[in-house]
């Protein structure tokens, strides 16, 4: 069964955080979708994949990466609007 989530959060992130943490973990878990800055320190992720993969990806986000922790996390169901073609993209 497939699942899609829209995840928003805030925090202070190093420049390579999207590629080295978020995109890397999404690829490893075979989650497709996008990540992008919406406004200053606010990030939006669209994550789609199997229920197990998306749940594991969400767990990785909650745990954070070393000293980087996400704040004000909001998670809501999302209806897949387009085909991400199995890729997780960083939108700059």
Determine the CATH number of domain 2-91: 3.30.70.100
pTM: 0.90
The tens place of each residue's pLDDT in the chain, 92 residues long, gives 899 999 999 988 888 888 989 999 999 999 999 999 888 789 999 999 999 999 999 999 988 766 777 888 899 998 887 888 889 999 98
Q: Measured between alpha carbons, how far is residue 56 from residues 26, 31, 72, 91 in Å?
A: 9, 10, 19, 22
pLDDT at 50: 96
Buried b (16+ CB within 10 A) or exposed e, 44-61: bbbbbbeeebbebbbebb
pLDDT at 68: 75
Structure tokens at 32: 């497709």
């Amino acid at each position: 069964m497939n699942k899609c989530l829209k995840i928003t959060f805030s925090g202070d992130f190093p420049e390579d955080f999207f590629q080295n943490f978020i995109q890397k973990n999404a690829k490893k878990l075979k989650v497709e979708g996008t990540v992008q800055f919406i406004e200053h320190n606010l990030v939006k992720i669209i994550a789609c994949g199997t229920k197990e993969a998306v749940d594991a990806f969400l767990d990785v986000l909650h745990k954070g990466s070393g000293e980087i922790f996400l704040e004000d996390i909001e998670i809501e169901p999302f209806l897949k609007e387009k085909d991400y073609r199995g890729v997780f993209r960083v939108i700059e």
